[in-house]
Amino acid sequence: MSTTVGILYPGYSAEDDYPRAEKLLTDSSRLALVHTEMREDAHRVDALLDIGGDDVLGAGARSLASEGLDSIVWACTSGSFVFGVSGARDQVARLQKVAGVPASSTSFAFVDACRALGVSSVAVGATYPPDVAGRFVQFLTHHDISVLTMSARDIITAAEVGTLPGDVVLDFAEAVSGDAQDAEAILLPDTALHTVDVLDALEERVGKPVLTANQVSIWQGLRLAGSDVHRDGLGTLFRKG
């Protein structure tokens, strides 16, 4: 079934993951992406609250009104979990009201992806500073996902994260996995990180499922649109059917 998923993406860093993924969907499903306003590129709580503001997301959703969306996703992990669990829920509810289609965010996509795979213990490899990464740990813990270890690379801007090459991403995931052998999955929670081209390689390197921000955002959008089917080339999450 061909579906159209709206992707609200903050600024410019790894947005090219989405057209790359779209080519792997194989059923004419579309990922209609719009760049939402990023007044300041910083992995800092005040800047992230601004990035995920209702005015920003509402403007992004309205710009996709002509696309015939089946669902919409706020493709920003830190710009959703930074609001806390109830705030992130309210953020999604308001986005859904504006867009008129099922909505979610990357933070909830991680939770739903873990549940879909039966994963209850994870290791987190965050590009964020430790204080921001700690809020993601709290978000997961609230949803009964045990975080065995958390590594934070302390990178301030999404732009810098977007420059990290695939071999660095692979090495980072391997280091995170090595610190938590008992973790059922590795989570890389930053949509500024390029991962689509290395999803299968990541899992081969660490020997377990790896969930990445852009991957789970796409999966969540397709799931909400009723197109959660087996697909190759996008990791265990997309092959679970």
- Residue 168: CATH number of its domain: 3.40.50.12500
Q: State the total domains in the chain.
A: 2
pLDDT, tens digit, 9 for 90 and up, residues 24-68: 998 889 999 999 999 999 999 999 999 999 999 999 999 999 999
Same domain assignment for residues 90 and 120: no
Cα distance between the two ends of the chain? 15
Same domain assignment for residues 92 and 121: no
Separation CA 151–CA 175 (nearest Å) = 9
| C-beta separation of 43 from 158 below 8 A | yes
The dihedral over CA atoms of 106, 226, 103, 11, expressed in degrees to the nearest 10, equals 50
Same domain assignment for residues 126 and 138: yes
The confidence band for 229, taking pLDDT boundaries of 50, 70 and 90, is confident
In the predicted model, what is the mean pLDDT of the chain?
96
The boundaries of the domain holding residue 28 are 4-108+215-239
Same domain assignment for residues 104 and 123: no
Task: Provide the b/e sequence for 87-104 (b: ≥16 CB within 10 Å).
Answer: ebeebbeebbebbebbbb
pLDDT, tens digit, 9 for 90 and up, residues 200-223: 999 999 999 999 999 999 999 999
Same domain assignment for residues 118 and 202: yes
pTM for the model stands at 0.97
Same domain assignment for residues 129 and 198: yes
Same domain assignment for residues 101 and 73: yes
Average pLDDT over residues 170-185: 92
Separation CA 119–CA 235 (nearest Å) = 15
Same domain assignment for residues 40 and 85: yes
Residue 240 has pLDDT above 80, yes or no: no
Same domain assignment for residues 84 and 148: no
Same domain assignment for residues 117 and 141: yes
Same domain assignment for residues 18 and 71: yes
Residue 1 confidence (pLDDT): 60
